[in-house]
A = this chain, B = another copy of it.
Amino acid sequence: MKKKITLKEISKRFNVSISTVSKALKDSPEISEKTRKMIQAFAKEHNYKPNNIALSLKNQKTKNIGIILPEIVHYFFSSVITGIERYATEKGYNVIVCISNESFDKEVINMEMLANGSIDGFIMSLSRGTERKQDFHHIKEVINQGMPVVLIDRVTDEVECDKVIIDDFHGAYSAVSYLAEQGRKRIALITMPDYMSVGRLRMEGYKKALEDAGLEYDPELVLRMEDFYENFEAIEKVIKERKADAVFAVTEFFAVSAMKMAQKEGIKVPEELSVIGFTDGIISISSSPSLTTVSQHGEEIGEKAAHLLIERLENENMAEQKPPQKEVVKTTLVKRDSA
């Protein structure tokens, strides 16, 4: 039995990164000619097929849509899939999901795999690894070969394609303004690192809302979490030492965690500490008190993305006719009992 070699195996063989292999196979001038030739020869010898998108596109439509998301344990992303599924099914398309696990390499591998004739187009959200690396060659390549891509939520200006984003700035602005209106003076922000587009925009919304409310910006109240299951020491410190009278967290998990920490310390929510989260998932409804949140409308984002993609798939000449679209889905502040 002939075994197909994978990108990963080639990268191991030559002790280079997945990205280098991927670029070399696409004959990118970024990679030295020697390395390119070496990798290409090896790949050919071992039956590796780089994606023949153009070919597969010209031959037949698969009626499959590929989705690549950073994770799915997160309620937001799983509701995006629900939205895509709903619209795609209605239009007779099937959906295939791959998870990048926040890894750039995994994102490239997934893309190679799916672009190899399995699907007609992509809907994807960038992994943290990709945002950190700022390397988008794999996405550009696929688009150059004529396969449409829709980026959602975590996007980049570096790639020209349809995008569906959340109004992160406005979402953060409205939450923090709401807290300020209720007389809160020391509003803590639990957020993502700044290299992530969503983290940056929410941070800007937070700052602007403070400014407009005449509140001082205090860096000590800004807690940047690298991971979903970050250790909570920084949050605990702010809450235990009663440094904040309100918390705005960019995930509902962090929001509920802050709320529980406060309750453990005998701090009353919302009387002594108001809490607002981002993402309106099942946790927000289940918590006590129920969580006031900025709803991201994941399903709506999924539906809009599927609409944009299928529109391009079904109108072959659209690429020339219609420039890339950017749709912004407005967030809503869902007022419950925690603020």
Contact = CB atoms under 8 A, between A and B. Distances in A.
Contacts of A110: 94
Candidate in A2, A96, A282 with the most chain B CB atoms within 10 angstroms = A282
A143 interface: no
Candidate in A58, A92, A263, A283 with the most chain B CB atoms within 10 angstroms = A283
Given A72-B78, A72-B81, A92-B9, A4 B63 contact: yes
Contact of A282 (B61, B101, B253): B253
Interface in A262-318: 263, 282-283, 286-288, 316
A221 to B, nearest CB: 23
A260 interface: yes
Given A6-B94, A72-B81, 19 more contacts: A2-B60, A4-B61, A4-B62, A6-B63, A6-B92, A9-B92, A64-B113, A72-B78, A73-B282, A89-B106, A94-B98, A94-B109, A96-B98, A97-B97, A97-B99, A118-B118, A282-B283, A283-B286, A287-B287
A92 to B, nearest CB: 6
Contacts of A286: 253, 256-257, 260, 283, 286-287
Contacts of A96: 96-98, 113-114
Interface of A: 1-4, 6, 8-9, 47, 58-64, 72-73, 75, 78-79, 81-82, 85, 89, 92, 94-99, 101, 106, 109-110, 113-114, 118, 253, 256-257, 260, 263, 282-283, 286-288, 316
19 contacts: A1-B58, A2-B60, A3-B61, A4-B60, A4-B63, A6-B63, A6-B92, A6-B94, A47-B60, A72-B97, A81-B99, A95-B99, A96-B96, A96-B98, A97-B98, A118-B118, A253-B286, A282-B283, A287-B288
A197 to B, nearest CB: 24
Nearest to A81: B72
Nearest to A61: B3
A73 B75 contact: yes
A288 B316 contact: no
A61 B286 CA distance: 45
Contacts of A282: 73, 253, 283
A4 B99 CA distance: 27
The 3 nearest A-B residue pairs measured at CB: A288-B288, A97-B97, A256-B286
A167 to B, nearest CB: 24
A89 B113 CA distance: 14
B85 A99 contact: yes
Nearest to A252: B286
Nearest to A47: B60
Nearest to A114: B96
Contacts of A101: 85, 89
A116 B2 CA distance: 18
Contacts of A4: 60-63
A2 B256 contact: no
Nearest to A66: B96
